[in-house]
């Protein structure tokens, strides 16, 4: 009899062409499927809560798969972590109803974006933050990010070449905090995200932070529904998929 499993996965995206399996390039999904095949002898499809792009990290990506297996969840968990490369770690693995779908059942996702705003970059941890030398205006960025709250058409912040039928999403919370280390952490929770949406929002917020545009301009860009008006896409290595939330959690 087939058993369904839910996984929470942490990964360092530096070495990967993103979550989704592709031919001839390393991907997180591809690595997990390869290890599952070597443990079970079966070709198993792992489905994620959504893709993450090349170079993006995750602390809590959620995925699911179904297979015929006699191993306990605990043993399967241990086996997976001992065979996966060290930049992919299964944080939890549990059996779940076969009806569970990591993408369709998700009610929201939390992303964080890390900027190191300091004269010099860091050597330690440089893989995990975008370094910007010029000081960012926290107050102006906070006003601008506030405009994202609620239900909006985020077409201005959608990556080119991957249009969705609907570009309307609801942002449930959005904050920017500055740590003593000089790190600025953007945290955004939404019921869904378009491709490159967080990185395009952060790239445009940085334009606000550098006073190249105003928070009012940010609002105008949001309303314009036109990618050409928004700022550049922030680099992938500052972005983390932190958590995927499901009902009754």
| Interaction site with a second copy (CB under 8 A) | 10-12, 57, 59, 81, 86-91, 120-126, 128, 240
Closest approach, Cβ 13 to a second copy, in A, equals 9
Nearer to a second copy by Cβ, of 128 and 157: the residue is: 128
Closest approach, Cβ 150 to a second copy, in A, equals 31
Nearer to a second copy by Cβ, of 112 and 147: the residue is: 112
Please state, in angstroms and rounded to a whole number, the distance separating the CA atoms of residues 97 and 119. Answer: 51
Closest approach, Cβ 11 to a second copy, in A, equals 5
Closest approach, Cβ 127 to a second copy, in A, equals 8
Q: Which residues are catalytic?
A: 53
Of 165, 172, 163, which is closest to residue 192 (Cα–Cα)?
A: 172
Nearer to a second copy by Cβ, of 119 and 228: the residue is: 119
Please state, in angstroms and rounded to a whole number, the distance separating the CA atoms of residues 246 and 243. Answer: 10
Nearer to a second copy by Cβ, of 128 and 196: the residue is: 128
């Amino acid at each position: 009899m087939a058993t369904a499993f839910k996984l929470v996965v942490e990964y360092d995206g530096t070495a990967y062409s993103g979550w989704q399996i592709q031919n001839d390039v390393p991907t997180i999904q591809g690595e997990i499927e390869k290890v599952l095949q070597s443990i079970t002898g079966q070709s198993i499809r792992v489905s994620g809560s959504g893709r993450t792009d090349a170079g993006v990290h995750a602390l809590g990506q959620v995925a699911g798969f179904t297979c015929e297996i006699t191993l306990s969840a605990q043993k399967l968990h241990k086996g997976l972590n001992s065979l996966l490369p060290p930049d992919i770690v299964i944080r939890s693995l549990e059996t779940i109803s076969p009806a569970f779908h990591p993408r369709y059942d998700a009610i929201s996702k939390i992303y964080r974006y890390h900027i190191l705003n300091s004269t010099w970059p860091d050597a330690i941890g440089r893989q995990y933050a975008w370094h910007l030398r010029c000081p960012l205006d926290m107050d102006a960025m906070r006003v601008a990010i506030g405009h994202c709250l609620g239900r909006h058409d985020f077409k201005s912040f959608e990556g080119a070449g991957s249009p969705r039928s609907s570009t309307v999403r609801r942002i449930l919370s959005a904050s920017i905090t500055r740590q003593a280390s000089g790190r600025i952490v953007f945290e955004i929770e939404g019921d869904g995200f378009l491709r490159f949406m967080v990185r395009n929002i952060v790239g445009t917020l940085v334009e606000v932070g550098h006073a190249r545009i105003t928070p009012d301009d940010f609002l105008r860009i949001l309303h314009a529904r036109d990618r050409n008006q928004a700022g550049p896409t922030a680099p992938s290595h500052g972005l983390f998929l932190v958590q995927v939330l499901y009902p009754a959690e």
